[in-house]
Chains A and B, each alone.
Chain A
Amino acid sequence: MGNGERVIDPASFRTRAFAMFWDGMLRHLPRSRGSLRLRLRSPQLYDLLTLEADRWLELGVEIGYFTAEPSSFLRRHGDTETFFSMAPAAQSPLDFQSEVAHAQETLSVPHFEMLQLLHFAGGEEWSVRLDQVRAFASALERQPLWRPDPEWLEAVQWALGDEQIEEHVNPAFWRLGGLGRYGFGTAHEQVSERVMALGQLRAWIAEVVEQAVVLEVAAEESPLSGGLVWLARLFQMDPEGGEDR
């Protein structure tokens, strides 16, 4: 099935595959706006993600994972070290492969939305979106057995992500590290405040869910606790509980 003109070059293959994926992700996102109510107004997010990709490519070339070739169709921004100066944890192509796979896997529409809000949203937009999450947490607390409707879950999904990019010191690190110090987006201190506010709400939601699970399991195991669940279900029908939806 092969032919005589085929060029065998795994590093070049990887470079091309990486660029195709990253470019595809960025092209795909705007089409998702309508259904997901994304507000990715700022081109800065796209620029930064492109910078991150370029930094991955640079580091990959240094470590022997990618090849330096013009086949990359990502835009070249030049001085990526200014924005991604931290030393990568990867010391070999094998480590690098795992890190770059993880960085790509964490790219998702809710993750993009979180980045947009943390780094580039104006104060009013940030407050409105954070208030939505706060109302969501509050509704959960009042009604432990509440099943949020998909529309509301979608609206707050950006705050419920389970990506763990903060564990990795590499070109993806900026996503939670703040960019204000480089003159990009919101001031660094403000991003830190936003990360902290979001973290507090997430801790609240986690606590409420843990309590609800304990209640449910107790109901499975004991009729008395089952009565508690029944009471909780009654609270679910409380008209006041519905306003936040």
Chain B
Amino acid sequence: MEVRARELTHSELRLLDRGNWVLFLAHQPPERLVVFVHGFRGGPVASWRQFQLGGQRSNWWRATDLLFVGYASERDTILGVSNRLRQALPDFYPYLPDELVEPSRGPAVRPTHGKYEELVLVGHSLGGVVVRRLLCDAAEEWLGELETDPSTPRPPILDASLALFSPASAGFRPGGSLGMLRALPLWTYINVYLRRSTAYSDLQPSSVFLRETRRRTEAALAGNRSAELKGLRANILWANPDDVVLTERYSSDRPDRSADNTTHRSVCKPDAAYDLPWDFVEGA
């Protein structure tokens, strides 16, 4: 185990013009960007508890910028969030704009910033479906462009590795409402329930949206460019027990794992006593 840093390794920048996205910028030149997408009514940072403290644990995290994406899960559709994120990510990856490291020409958070070498997309629950759809659509778009121009470069977003915590990609369990009621903070659940958002409907096990996302992902990976689409093969860490979602992966996913004694809500929240989430994302 590496020696703990015991000092701040990242600084926070909230991006009001993006809605409610939050960047934790590494103080040392970063090698990668990790993007976090929360589940139902999650807070961009609060949903992930202490992920931003990963720099206390390893050099990998100290050389990582963290982007926490916020969205209104009670209003937005899954496709809407996925499309918005797909359009916005090129503003952050592979090059982060200078003004984010040095806002308003004020003091900078670190000396220089070049090109990221790596992108990791992380999703929890509903957020897992969002990032799956994002990569699936990006892959299909690229494969379509290749048919007319075989020299079309692969878009940077498909560099991504995919790490999912209890993704809802197979939908809620039958009777999952009760599980959600137990698993989510009470008032988070009440808001989800009262609003009955489109995203909520899209996560029923019979959902066309879920079925199509899976079919298209597996079809893309069955083609002859699958080696260049490895980001679509998700790494999954399930909560055990998980009362909320069906714990089924795609046939194209990597072998999955479970975190004992965690819940649907806690599986993605690392702290001093539960450091598996940091290792899981680092190993994705």
Contacts and interface: CB of A to CB of B under 8 A. Distances in A.
A161 B13 CA distance: 24
Nearest to B55: A94
Contact of B14 (A9, A104, A164): A104
Nearest to B50: A98
Interface string A12-36: 1110111011001100100000000
A150 B114 CA distance: 45
Interface string B104-136: 101111111110000000000000000000000
Contacts of B187: 160-162, 202, 206
Contact of A10 (B14, B27, B194): B27
A202 B190 CA distance: 10
Contacts of B14: 17, 21, 104
A162 B186 CA distance: 8
A8 interface: yes
Interface of A is mostly: helix
Interface string B177-195: 1100100011111110111
Contacts of B11: 10, 13-14, 17
A151 interface: no
Contact of A16 (B16, B27, B50, B107): B107
A7 B177 contact: no
Interface stretch (A82-90, A119-127, A211-219): A211-219
A148 B193 contact: no
Given A94-B53, A101-B45, A206-B186, A8 B16 contact: no
A14 B10 CA distance: 10
B12 A97 contact: yes
Contact of A105 (B44, B50, B185, B188): B44
A8 B107 contact: yes
Nearest to A136: B194
B16 A28 contact: yes
A221 interface: yes
A75 B19 CA distance: 25
A9 B194 contact: no
A37 interface: no
B94 interface: no
A62 to B, nearest CB: 15
B110 A10 contact: yes
Contact of B106 (A13, A97, A161, A205): A13
Contacts of A2: 108, 111-113
Contacts of B44: 105
Contacts of B110: 8, 10
B175 A217 contact: yes
Interface in A133-171: 147-148, 150, 153, 160-162, 164
B147 interface: no
A128 interface: no
A13 B190 contact: no
B111 A8 contact: yes
B46 interface: yes
Interface of B: 6-8, 11-14, 16, 20, 22, 25, 27, 41, 43-46, 50, 52-53, 56, 98, 102-104, 106-114, 174-175, 177-178, 181, 185-191, 193-196
Given A13-B106, A97-B52, A105-B43, 5 more contacts: A6-B108, A16-B104, A20-B16, A28-B16, A153-B194
Interface of A: 1-2, 6-10, 12-14, 16-18, 20-21, 24-25, 28, 65, 71, 93-94, 97-98, 100-102, 104-105, 147-148, 150, 153, 160-162, 164, 202, 205-206, 209-210, 212-214, 216-217, 220-221
The 8 closest A-B pairs by CB, nearest first: A162-B187, A12-B107, A9-B107, A21-B14, A13-B109, A2-B112, A24-B16, A217-B175
